[in-house]
Structure 1
């Protein structure tokens, strides 16, 4: 009798997991509490995979041998509690797919910079003529790629803490932890340590033959590493300590181990201190994989920033518009404001995830001329920054936000969309929010 796998969630990862499970001979059922995208539903129908939408039917789920949980489903959801009470193992799509490939995996996690670093690493490897499977929290479903495993030389995966919560044997060759700052704490009992421990699971199964790259400047990471047994070779990168395996200051960009490599910070395509750190991590990975130094350097010099992350849109009458819609937490916004070089009109707001905006006050006092709130509830933002910023205007749609920011700006100034919040009060996703921002800017 076939083993039965039930997939919860029919997004990119869930649909991919269903297809791989079917390919591997399992009895497959997919359940989505919401509404499936038409494209996903069509794929399931074409492949004869049984599914339901709009509810989770316990009788069809609790007879599973395995549950594959999509990362967007809260750990405290009622169906998850029922599954745990029934003693059915829960794994992630990442864990499941990794069982069916022996290709090297490069895995990247962190509160900020994951997408940029993952994309930069994939860009670098493709420049080296390697066939890269780019997926996880970005791009394609890992499971769907593994269905055609022969098409790839290796995989580069961006991983969230939610995806790492449900791994058991997943083992990357190189794991990268960029930083740990408060984010999604509502899913971790508002405990930064529990959230950080979820991130560190990326190195849980690595051996002495593998590599763990980490941010030696990150205080929470450093504290957690003292109490975590990681067998992989640990390589730190730093903007402070030149004795680490990789180090950069305001001028020099140096990889010290396993091979030496150097260039200048000025040559990097990505601006801002946070992106120097991201570039160090990517260069270290290239070094470990023994890419030619010329390929590493050229990639770092030519890579374009990812969409919705400090993305320059256009200048209108000398006012530069920057789309940083992907900045969904306070720490991301800190880095964005830090990189601003002219007086800034800051568009901020959305669905708050327990943000402590006070951390941004010093940077706001230094960089921000005016604030345009974009959200259904802006009270926390107004309360925090009104003592320090004279002009704070509330809006609840993108058109008004962009037009207001434009009227507040002058030649030589910058309008920055960097929300510090999730997008779900007014938009479908941060991509949707960024797309509408760019559309409204181009109408000016």
Structure 2
């Protein structure tokens, strides 16, 4: 179980008018509002500040809970007087207000770090450049079906802090991003999972992959010899990042390329898991999640289940009937023999690679959006093999044209989800798949990837 997490930052020197310790929350989204609620519950003098505008839902909650807040800017006098600051993972350390807090020695922590102080639940923490939402959802599905009292939080669902304040879960499955890890210090995972490391969000890491990888390795910090670390033995960047690290936890690798003594591996078409005399076997053809990348995701979730000594029958049933999350390789419809797949959550090149790798038919691929310095070269081989046309969905598609003009005969520009769906439908033939897997962020034309995926699904239904 998690030990009590007491830090020097909890001995607050700065107080509000009623003598309560002053805590400031920066960012008024799901995680920030949840942290504010937990802090209020724990007796803090709480102030929430958002540089942008708050959603009505969150504003109403803050008013209902009698928590002071501001939007549309930061009042520095209110913020710099905090004993401690909980910041949204979306706010970079380079933001001026964060730099001022750091300069004066004010502790700046993540919601996960803060909420972890107030629960002794077992923590199953899952990170990776790709697959973490799917693996977190599958792990939660297995544990819940096994009868465990478990919550799902982090980058997914209701905020961890809000659940700590309102629930009494004995286990948490937490999807953890590198941005969250950067501001976690005393928090400890009982079971940590690192799925893979590929170039993503490098603008936050001085464009150095090794900095991003070091951030991912923080998933193992504070772990002890009684804890477990699950990782992919086939991922070169993960193995490289582990070198020189002092990992105290018991290591449980997974591989589809070689036999593993303690961990998971593939024996022909059978997924094998061996953990501390606990043995599990299942045909990959029976897994709900298909495709090479999903074998790794299923292995990681399966190892977690075996560490917790769950019954094989429960695992087999859950891994066979799991339904993937919305916007991740989500089947939308079959029209005139053409399958439409919504993979809007693929916001980087590696995610799109995984999506294409799992396709078994010819593909009309919908790509584009806000390009985060993408290197499309890793897609070229799969595009040559499987893609008959590319439909660009974004304001600036030049880099996509430059990357694939020698590999695909047809590349068309579109400016809305409806137009993209219609053009792709006309380019596809019976037996083909129209795949929305953009490899880019969505903010040029959409609110977020969910909005992009929903507009695509609505457009398909109108065909």
TM-score, length basis structure 1: 0.99
SS of equivalent residue, structure 1 residue 260 = strand
The match for 1:369 is 388
Partners in 1 of 2:448 and 2:332 — Cα distance?
19
Partners in 1 of 2:415 and 2:92 — Cα distance?
27
Deviations for 1:368-394, whole angstroms, at most 9, x for unmatched residues? 000000001100000010011000001
Q: Answer yes or no: is 1:165 the counterpart of 2:182.
A: yes
SS of equivalent residue, structure 1 residue 20 = helix
Report if the CA contact (8 A) 1:240-1:249 is conserved: no
Deviations for 1:231-285, whole angstroms, at most 9, x for unmatched residues? 0101000111112520025511100222111111111111100000000000000
Partners in 1 of 2:446 and 2:100 — Cα distance?
31
The match for 2:9 is none
| 2:353 corresponds to which of 325, 331, 334 | 334
SS of equivalent residue, structure 1 residue 133 = strand
| 2:221 corresponds to which of 196, 200, 204 | 204
Instruction: Name stretches of at least 5 consecutive residues in structure 2 with no aligned partner.
Output: 1-18
Deviates more, 1:266-275 or 1:235-244: 235-244
The match for 1:188 is 205
The match for 1:384 is 403
Q: Answer yes or no: is 1:286 the counterpart of 2:290.
A: no
Partners in 2 of 1:248 and 1:14 — Cα distance?
41
Instruction: Name stretches of at least 5 consecutive residues in structure 1 with no aligned partner.
Output: none
The match for 1:25 is 43
Partners in 2 of 1:432 and 1:131 — Cα distance?
32
Report if the CA contact (8 A) 1:374-1:396 is conserved: yes
Partners in 1 of 2:356 and 2:171 — Cα distance?
36
Deviations for 1:275-311, whole angstroms, at most 9, x for unmatched residues? 0000000000000001111011111111011111111
Partners in 2 of 1:48 and 1:131 — Cα distance?
31
Deviations for 1:394-419, whole angstroms, at most 9, x for unmatched residues? 11111110100000000010100000
SS of equivalent residue, structure 1 residue 73 = coil
Q: Answer yes or no: is 1:410 the counterpart of 2:429.
A: yes
Deviations for 1:43-98, whole angstroms, at most 9, x for unmatched residues? 10111100000001111100000010100112211111111112111000000000
Report if the CA contact (8 A) 1:101-1:149 is conserved: no
Report if the CA contact (8 A) 1:123-1:303 is conserved: yes
The match for 2:265 is 247
SS of equivalent residue, structure 1 residue 422 = coil
Residues 32-43 of structure 1 mapped to structure 2, 5 A cutoff: 32-43=50-61
Deviations for 1:209-244, whole angstroms, at most 9, x for unmatched residues? 100000111101101111111101010001111125
Q: Answer yes or no: is 1:216 the counterpart of 2:233.
A: yes
SS of equivalent residue, structure 1 residue 387 = coil
Deviations for 1:145-175, whole angstroms, at most 9, x for unmatched residues? 111242x121110000000000011111111
Runs of 4+ in 1 over 6 A off after TM superposition: none
SS of equivalent residue, structure 2 residue 275 = coil
CA RMSD, 1 decimal: 0.8
Deviates more, 1:81-90 or 1:434-443: 81-90
The match for 2:7 is none
Partners in 2 of 1:168 and 1:212 — Cα distance?
18
Deviates more, 1:249-258 or 1:46-55: 249-258
SS of equivalent residue, structure 1 residue 256 = strand
Partners in 2 of 1:249 and 1:422 — Cα distance?
37
Residues 56-95 of structure 1 mapped to structure 2, 5 A cutoff: 56-95=74-113
Report if the CA contact (8 A) 1:178-1:215 is conserved: yes
Residues 90-109 of structure 1 mapped to structure 2, 5 A cutoff: 90-109=108-127
Partners in 1 of 2:77 and 2:231 — Cα distance?
44
Partners in 2 of 1:344 and 1:317 — Cα distance?
15
Partners in 2 of 1:273 and 1:248 — Cα distance?
11
